[in-house]
Amino acid sequence: MTANSVPPLTRLARRLADYRNPRSLGSRLRARRIGPLLRLIEEAFAEHGEVHLLDVGGTLRYWTIVPDEFLARHRVSITLLNLPGRIRPLAASGRFRFVEGDGCDLSAWTDQSIHVLHANSVLEHVGDHQRMQRFAGEIRRVAQRYFVQTPNAWFPIEPHCMTPFFHWLPHALRVRLVRQFRLGHWRRAASLDEARRIVDSARLLDRRTLKGLFPGAAILDERLFGLSKSLIALGQRPDRDPQRTSPC
């Protein structure tokens, strides 16, 4: 396929979300987004002298936005958890460890055994609301601190197909569009069933829903052009909250 034959929305998606390019909008937003995550790492290091971090759905490329000096200084070891077949290699690589599994079942980890848990743009892909509840419940169970980011359903551009107002349209119309066109990161569906699977692969959340999944968490906004582009649930156990700790 030549460059001229690639649909405009697909070219736009590749340009904005080219995380290999540090100057792309996606890379710059990620770099700005991680400030609260770095603070969680600093707090965990101050408490434990090292940081065991679980990144659900994570990739090596994502962590290039964090200076290696910062990770080394805070003795951060990172486990990247992905569904089977989603990531290679599956062998240890420096501070990184690769594990296959499902974020809705973190039974390999005991309660509060993870110093920091990170999940970036994963929650909207785990399935229906019941699976979202399982995903959030497992995060709250295993993590002392967590950082969970997800696109905001009220931002006017759907981030996967890069189409304005797409996610606000009736489900049947969205399926029809995916069946007929290649949109953003999504290929044109070869069948009606595939179109339904593509549309249902991303279920965007609003602030109220995210708050319900992570009660007690602070919900932060990541803004673009003054609008809330994505939401971040930032949480930790109450007894680990510095603001709740007595100064005496």
Q: Answer whether residue 119 is part of any domain.
A: yes
Residues 216-232: tens digit of each pLDDT = 999 999 998 899 999 99
Rg (CA), the chain: 19
Residue 68 is inside which H or E element, if any? helix 68-73
- Evaluate whether residue 67 is within a structural domain: yes
Residue 173 lies in a domain: no
CATH number (domain holding residue 80):
3.40.50.150
Q: What is the pTM of this model?
A: 0.84
Domain that holds residue 73: 34-155+204-237
Count of the separate structural domains present in the chain: 1
Query: What ranges make up the beta strands (E) of 48-142?
Result: 51-56, 76-82, 96-100, 116-120
Is residue 79 domain-resident?
yes
230, part of any domain: yes
Dump pLDDT digits (tens) for 193-219: 999 999 999 999 999 999 999 999 999
Q: What is the pLDDT of residue 85?
A: 81
Could you tell me if residue 124 is inside a domain? Answer: yes
Domain assignment present for residue 228? The answer is: yes
pLDDT for the residue 237: 78
Nearest to 233 by CA among 214, 209, 205: 214
How far CA 129 is from CA of 54, 107, 184, 230, 237, in Å, comes to 23, 20, 25, 18, 24
In a domain, 209, yes or no: yes
